[in-house]
Amino acid sequence: MSEGPRTRVFETPAGVALCTLDSLADPGARNFVLQIDEAFFHGFLVRTGESVRGYVDRCPHQGLPLAQKLDGYLTPDARLISCSWHGALFRIEDGACVGGPCTGARLTPWPVTVENGVVRTA
Give burial (CB, 10 Å; 0-12/13-18/19+) of 27.
middle
Going by pLDDT thresholds of 50, 70 and 90, the confidence category of residue 3 is: low
All structural domains of the chain with their residue ranges:
25-121
Mean pLDDT value of segment 82-87: 95
Which DSSP state fits 106? B
Q: Which CATH architecture has domain 25-121?
A: 3-layer Sandwich (2.102)
Give per-residue pLDDT as tens, 32-74. Answer: 999 999 999 999 999 999 999 999 999 999 999 999 999 999 9
- Yes or no: say if 8 and 42 are a contact pair by the CB < 8 Å rule: yes
Query: What is the pTM (predicted TM-score) of this model?
Result: 0.93
Going by pLDDT thresholds of 50, 70 and 90, the confidence category of residue 90 is: very high
- The pLDDT value recorded for residue 120 is 98
- The pLDDT value recorded for residue 82 is 97
